[in-house]
Structure formats: C-alpha cells, structure tokens
C-alpha cells in the first residue's frame, strides 16, 4: 500500500491558476511515475470539464453524492472515479456540489467529510491533489482538513493584499483546531508576464508581509496562449504542447514538489 500525500491547491481568489496548476502538477507527477488522484471540489467543475468531461452536470456519480452519502443512493467511491488518458484518476464535481456545501454546514463531523470520504482509496495513490473552490467556505475547509499540505497559486499581476491574510488565517485556524500537521507546501507564482518585473514585486510583498517562513517555489508559471487550447482539448499542457514555456515550468514545479517530499522523508529518518 502506498502512503498518499494529500495536497490542497487553494486560494479563495478566482482566476489565479488553481485548476490549471492542479491538472498540470497532477499529470506532471503521473509523468514521473506517480499514481495520482485529483479531487474536484469546485462546484464550477472546471477541472472535470478541462480534463475532457465537458458536461459535468450529466455525471451521475460525483463528489457531490459521495459527500452527502445519502443511503438511498448506492454511489461508491470506486464507481465515481474517472480515468483520464494521461494516467491520472479524477473524482469529478458538478453543480450539485454547491447544494452539498449547504448540507455540510449541518452535518456531523462536517469539517472532515472529504477526509473520511477518500480514506478508503487514498492510499492507492502516491499523491491526491484537491482543487479548491474560490471561497473559504465548507468545501475549502473540508479540503484543508483532508490535506497534508497546501499549495497557494498567486497570480503575479496584482499584489495579493488582504485575501492572502484571510487565507493564511484560515489555514492557521484549521491547523490549530483540527489538523495540527497541516503545512504550507509553498506559493507558486502563476500568470507571470515576462515583460514586467511584477513577479519580483509580488515576492517582495509576500516576504515583507508574511515573513520568510512561507516557501516560494523557484518555478514560476508564465502566461501562455496554449493553456486555453489544451483545456479545450481535455489535455494537459504536456500532451498538448510539450516543451512550451508553460509545460517546462509545470514540469519544474513538479520536480520541486517531488524533491520537497524526499527532503521531508529524510528529515523524519
Ligand atoms: P482558478 O482555478 O484559480 O480560477 P484557472 O486555472 O481556471 O484559475 O485559470 C484562470 C484562467 O486563466 C483560465 O481561463 C485559464 O485557462 C487561464 N490560465 C491559467 N494559467 C494560465 C497560464 N499560465 N497562461 C495563460 N492562461 C492561463
Ligand atoms: Mg478553478
């Protein structure tokens, strides 16, 4: 049995590259021989659609059913898992997940429902990546509680300002109250425009406001037109356009994530 590392890709701001990072880090890890499960925790189901299931609302078994665990429905987690041609598995989402979120608010052990839902399958994988919705509600809290660590994509176009403080506070609250060993894997700069030095300003801003203890990945993801094209084909950036700057950047991020894990394993020894 494997021992999965569960990583939530989280930022309550929309359009910062969470979905793109989840998909291309996930398939990047699969390309390095790892077994990967992606959980789509966003009711907008962009991850599910971007991986080629273009009509998520027509799927019968999704995380929405699994999280509610309605005993009248025989949805098993195995029956909900979809297999993508590039070698990763997906627990899909659809719009029903927004109703699920309301249901979760009144459920027992409401913060740990995703964690419990994936418990039986997670150790079939080396990595489980969770794509979070653009909000700090129950779906995100469930994602953080299920996770060992968090990757925070930050778009290198605006200074992250208040949103980052709220996100770090939420992570801190989850750590203090529910999940003491939750850690921040790192911040990844996305949508980097090579013609400006905004990414340097964003890094300076993060350092100044949040200190040096938050890891910032060396790999920065540039802007590239091929991203939208790969999504429309249901493919990763590697399958759509290998060796494009975005593909090279995500491959490099993948290696940083892999090496980070080896480092922490050595520290445990
Ligand atoms: P989020 O999940 O945080 O809302 P997405 O990953 O969906 O963010 O990205 C937001 C939009 O930006 C999408 O249309 C996506 O295709 C596009 N995008 C993401 N990363 C890049 C990139 N590196 N280059 C160009 N477009 C990108
Ligand atoms: Mg998204």
Rounded distance between C-alpha atoms, residue 241 and residue 247, angstroms: 7
Q: What is the pTM of this model?
A: 0.96
Residues lower than pLDDT 50 in the chain: none
Question: b/e per residue, 244-262, with b = 16+ CB within 10 A?
Answer: bbbbbbbbebbebbbebbe
Q: Which stretches within the chain are classed as H helix?
A: 18-31, 46-50, 63-68, 77-80, 96-105, 113-122, 138-146, 161-177, 198-210, 226-232, 237-241, 245-268
Does any ligand 1 atom lie closer than 6 A to the CB of residue 190?
yes
- Closest residue CA from atom 22 of ligand 1: 223
C-alpha distances in Å from residue 121, one per residue of 67, 83, 127, 185: 14, 14, 11, 23
**What three-state secondary structure class fits 130?**
strand
Tell me the β-bridge partners of 152. Answer: 187
ipTM comes to 0.99
Strand order from edge to edge, sheet including 5-9: 82-83, 89-91, 36-40, 127-131, 5-9, 149-155, 183-190
- Mutation pick for ligand 1 pocket among 15, 158, 251 (CB with most ligand atoms within 8 Å): 15
Supply the Cα-derived Rg of the chain in whole angstroms: 18
Ligand nearest to the CA of 191: 1
Q: Is the Cβ–Cβ distance between 90 and 82 less than 8 Å?
A: yes
Ligand 2 geometric centre to CA of 134 (Å): 7
**What three-state secondary structure class fits 189?**
strand
Give residue-wise pLDDT tens across range 106-134: 888 899 999 999 999 999 999 999 999 99
Beta carbons within 8 Å of 231's beta carbon, 6+ residues apart: 20, 50
Does any ligand 1 atom lie closer than 6 A to the CB of residue 20?
yes
Beta carbons within 8 Å of 178's beta carbon, 6+ residues apart: 111, 112, 145
Does any ligand 1 atom lie closer than 6 A to the CB of residue 223?
yes
Does any ligand 1 atom lie closer than 6 A to the CB of residue 14?
yes
Tokens of 146: 């299920």
**Of 162, 161, 180, 160, nearest to 171 (Cα)?**
180
Give residue-wise pLDDT tens across range 61-101: 999 999 987 665 667 999 999 999 999 999 999 999 999 99
pLDDT at position 211 is 83
**What three-state secondary structure class fits 204?**
helix
pLDDT at position 236 is 97
Q: Where does residue 79 rank: exposed (0-12), middle (13-18), buried (19+ CB within 10 A)?
A: exposed
Does any ligand 1 atom lie closer than 6 A to the CB of residue 155?
no
């Amino acid at each position: 049995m494997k021992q999965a590392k569960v990583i939530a890709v989280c930022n309550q701001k929309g359009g910062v590259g969470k979905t793109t990072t989840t998909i291309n880090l996930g398939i990047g890890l699969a390309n390095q021989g790892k077994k990967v499960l992606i959980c789509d925790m966003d009711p907008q189901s962009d991850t599910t659609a971007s991986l080629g299931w273009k009509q998520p609302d027509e799927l019968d078994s999704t995380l929405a059913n699994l999280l509610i665990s309605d005993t009248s429905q025989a949805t098993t987690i195995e029956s909900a898992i979809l297999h993508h041609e590039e070698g990763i598995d997906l627990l899909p989402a659809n719009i029903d997940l927004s109703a699920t979120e309301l249901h979760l608010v009144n459920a027992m052990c409401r913060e740990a429902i995703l964690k419990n839902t994936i418990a039986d399958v997670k150790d079939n994988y080396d990595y489980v990546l969770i794509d979070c919705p653009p909000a700090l509600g129950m779906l995100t809290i469930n994602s953080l509680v299920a996770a060992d660590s968090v990757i925070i994509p930050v778009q290198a176009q605006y200074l992250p300002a208040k949103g980052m403080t709220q996100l770090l506070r939420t992570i801190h609250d989850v750590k203090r109250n529910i999940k003491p060993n939750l850690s921040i894997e790192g911040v990844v700069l996305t949508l980097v425009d090579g013609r400006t030095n905004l990414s340097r300003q964003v890094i300076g801003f993060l350092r100044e406001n949040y200190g040096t203890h938050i890891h910032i990945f060396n790999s920065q993801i540039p802007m590239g037109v091929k991203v939208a094209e790969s999504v429309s084909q249901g493919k990763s950036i590697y399958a759509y356009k290998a060796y494009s700057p975005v593909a090279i950047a995500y491959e490099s991020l993948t290696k940083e994530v892999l090496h980070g894990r080896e480092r922490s394993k050595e520290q445990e020894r």
